[in-house]
C-alpha cells in the first residue's frame, strides 16, 4: 500500500477551517469540495492515458487522452457523497458507482447495505471516496470488494486519516502497491469511540446535519 499526504498550504488552510467546530454545514460542504479537487489532482497522477494526435490551428501535434476503460469513482455512502462533485469536476468522463457501508458504533465493524457497481471491474482504475479513514474497517472492506470484482488498482481519497486505520488497511492489503491512499493529513490517533483525534468530528453530520 502506498500513502501520499498532500502537503500544500491551501490543503492545510482548507483542512483547518473544516476542523473548526464553528464552521457551518454550507461552508463545510464548499470547503470539502475544494479540498477534494486538490486531493484528486494528486490522486490522478497515475491515471492511465494514451497518446493521441491533435491538430491545433497552427500544426498537428501529439497529445494525451484518458485511456479506456474509463476510471470508476465510488463514493462510500453517506459521507463520501460530499466528495463526489469535487472529484467528477476534475474527472468528468469517469463513471460513478455507489457503495453503502455502515459502521456499527459498538463493534466498529463495517457492513455493506447497498451497492450499485458494475459486476465486472476488470482492468478498471477505481477511486474510492471516503472522508475519514478511522478504524480502516470500511475502507478495507470496500477495497476487497472492488478487487473481488476485478478492479485493477484502487486509490482511496480521504480528507483525514488515523494511524490505526492506515495500519489496518496495510494489514489487510499487505504490500500490494495497487492500493494507494491520498489524504490531507494523518492525525494523532483514534479515541475510544473510533473518532479521529483531533479530526473534524462526524463528517456525515457536518456535511448533511444529524439524521
For the annotated catalytic residues, the residue numbers are 103, 107, 202, 205
Q: Which is nearer to ligand URA, 71 or 137 (CB)?
A: 137
Q: Which is nearer to ligand URA, 71 or 136 (CB)?
A: 136
Among 132, 146, 179, 182, indicate the residue that binds ligand URA (CB under 6 A).
Answer: 132
Per CB under 6 A, does 34 bind ligand URA? no
Per CB under 6 A, does 203 bind ligand URA? yes
Angle in degrees, CA 109, 130, 112, rounded to 5:
40
CA dihedral 54, 55, 56, 61 (to 10 degrees): 60
Instruction: Name the pairing type of β-strands 132-133 and 153-161.
Output: parallel
Upper half-sphere CA count for residue 136 (Cβ side, 13 Å)? 18
Q: Which is nearer to ligand URA, 105 or 175 (CB)?
A: 105
Minimum Å gap between C-beta 135 and ligand URA is 8
Per CB under 6 A, does 196 bind ligand URA? yes
Contacts for 191 with CB less than 8 Å, ≥ 6 apart: 197
Alpha helices in the chain (DSSP H): 9-19, 25-43, 84-90, 137-148, 163-173, 203-208
Per CB under 6 A, does 134 bind ligand URA? yes
The footprint of ligand URA (CB under 6 A) covers 79, 132, 134, 194-196, 199, 202-204
Amino acid at each position: 500500500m502506498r500513502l501520499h499526504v498532500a502537503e500544500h498550504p491551501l490543503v492545510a488552510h482548507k483542512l483547518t477551517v473544516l476542523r473548526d467546530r464553528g464552521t457551518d454545514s454550507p461552508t463545510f460542504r464548499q470547503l470539502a469540495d475544494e479540498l477534494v479537487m486538490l486531493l484528486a489532482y494528486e490522486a490522478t497522477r497515475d491515471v492511465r492515458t494514451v497518446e493521441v494526435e491533435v491538430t491545433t490551428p497552427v500544426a498537428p501535434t501529439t497529445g494525451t487522452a484518458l485511456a479506456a476503460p474509463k476510471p470508476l469513482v465510488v463514493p462510500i455512502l453517506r459521507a463520501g457523497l460530499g466528495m463526489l462533485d469535487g472529484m467528477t469536476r476534475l474527472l468528468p468522463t469517469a463513471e460513478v458507482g455507489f457503495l453503502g457501508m455502515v459502521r456499527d458504533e459498538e463493534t466498529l465493524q463495517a457492513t455493506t447495505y447497498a451497492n450499485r457497481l458494475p459486476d465486472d471491474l476488470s482492468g478498471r482504475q477505481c477511486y474510492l471516496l471516503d472522508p475519514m479513514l478511522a478504524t480502516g474497517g470500511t475502507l478495507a472492506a470496500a477495497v476487497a470488494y472492488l478487487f473481488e470484482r476485478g478492479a485493477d488498482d484502487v486509490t482511496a481519497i480521504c480528507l483525514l486519516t488515523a494511524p490505526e486505520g492506515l495500519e489496518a488497511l496495510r494489514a489487510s492489503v499487505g504490500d500490494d502497491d495497487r492500493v494507494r491512499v491520498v489524504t490531507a493529513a494523518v492525525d494523532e490517533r483514534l479515541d475510544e469511540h473510533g473518532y479521529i483525534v483531533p479530526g473534524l468530528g462526524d463528517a456525515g453530520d457536518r456535511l448533511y446535519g444529524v439524521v
